[in-house]
Amino acid sequence: MKNLKLLFTSLVIIVYINSIKSQEKLIVNSNTSEECLQNLSIFAESAKVKNYNEAFEPWSKVRNECPSLNVAIYSYGERILKDKIKNGTDDEIDISKKDLILLYDQWLEYFPKKRGKKVSGDILSNKAQSMLDYNIGDKNEIYKVFDQAFKSDLKSFTNPKRLYNYFKIFYDMYKDGLNNYTAEMLFEKYEEVYEKFEYESLELSKKLDILINKEESGTPLTTRDLKRKRIYDVNSNAIGIFLSNLNAIISKESSCENLIPLYERNFEENKNNSIWLNRAASRMDEKNCSDDPLFVTLVERLHTLEPSAASAYYLGFLNDKRGKSSEALKYYEESIELETDKYKKAKILYKIALKFKNKGRKSTARKYALKALSFQPSLGKAYLTIANLYASSANDCGESQFQKRAVYWLAAQTARKAAKVDASVKKIALKTAESYYNRAPSKTDIFTEGNSGQTIQFSCWFSANVKVPNL
């Protein structure tokens, strides 16, 4: 009878725990006590509704007696202890802070994998973030945990805030003169973290593009699709925010005055290192240091050593600066041809679009921006660039003043498209769209013109049409 009761309880718990999102399958064996199973059910139910005080005692018993029973011990345990830190007495707060760090270590010991995949990077980075949040340990100790997460399991170290803080702590120690960190080491760390941000951004883009293509094909998104899209949008926005913060930090250090002597000093040692050459050229390009002869040296060496999409792009850029437009275009096209990854191809196309935009070649810039979108539909920046190109042509398209200002409707619609497909630019895209709408003809203008609901055709450097809003 006792065995049957235990079996029934086990089955109930299995069903219950499997219903909890993000939980692993319950581990039940002959050594699992009936009391552990019962307490697991009790604390999980309480923690699920945020009744952490009620959950604490049964959770503690399961954690101490059956630490390998289920990952819920640690996922809910983290919430329980954080609640103690937030709402407990002074003694409880101190004890819970130490216990939280121990909990992460136990989590790593008993459940280092989730659905067969390593999650140690996620657990360790979470531990480091908690140490930072609750002032546990000094900067060096916290950094070591972040660094262990980054180096031991980069794949599951995905949280944008933690990635940013990993670099921020390194930067703080560099500024404080700790550990003999050099400027070169700082830039190298930045490139590593930046590339991880770029990777996570691209992975999100791939998922978003599936949904965007589905929607644009006329297939309605399911409830599950919409839920996923909301999650992707939130994550994309977070990446955008923390990547911007990351770039803001490095911009203080990566002036041409700092970069050029550094790269000159280290060129000879790294002239056969294509990764170093590419990173150095990329940094100089982004900081507008390309007028220096060193940039030419870096690019030509990179292309000789390992012809790539990146090196071809830089050669195109150099020829552009020299006024050799046909040569530049040849290298730009070579760059696109050499790149096999469609998302990296989109990035190159977008950069080329910006170069042509800055040179005032609007039609060519739009062409490359549209090409970029054909490979990455979620590239909101490309839509924003096209919107800006339209808006800058308000005086060039249309015969009447009304028609010329109507271009702003087209620009606004394009900016809103950017907001729709890319959460990382949504805020600025919507603000931009509003600005364009405010410059478009007013309701009074539409009434005076008498063309409410009509279509206006543009035929200048681009061909497009826009519908006049109905009054």
Bridge partner list, 113:
118
Structure tokens at 348: 């190159």
Q: How far is CA 467 from the centre of its chain?
A: 35
- CA contacts within 13 A on the Cβ side of 257: 3
- DSSP letter, residue 22: T
Instruction: Tell me the pLDDT of the chain (471 aa) as tens digits.
Output: 444 444 444 444 444 444 443 444 444 444 568 899 999 999 999 999 999 999 999 999 999 999 999 999 999 999 999 999 999 999 999 999 999 999 999 999 999 999 999 999 999 999 999 999 999 999 999 999 999 999 999 999 999 999 999 999 999 999 999 999 999 899 999 999 999 999 999 999 999 999 999 998 999 999 999 999 999 999 999 999 999 999 999 988 888 998 999 999 999 999 999 999 999 998 898 888 988 999 999 999 999 998 899 899 999 989 988 888 889 889 999 999 999 999 999 999 999 999 899 989 999 999 999 999 999 999 999 999 999 999 999 888 888 999 999 999 999 999 999 999 999 999 999 999 999 999 999 999 999 988 899 999 988 999 899 999 998
Q: How far apart are CA 125 and CA 283, in angstroms?
A: 27
Structure tokens at 326: 């046909």
Let me know: does 156 contact 118? Beta carbons within 8 Å.
yes
Query: What are the sequence ranges of the domains in the chain?
Result: 1-111, 378-471
Q: How far apart are CA 136 and CA 149, in angstroms?
A: 17
| pTM score, whole prediction | 0.81
Give per-residue burial for 179-215: e unless 16+ CB within 10 Å, then b: eebeeeebbebbbbbbebbeebbbebbebbbbbbeeb
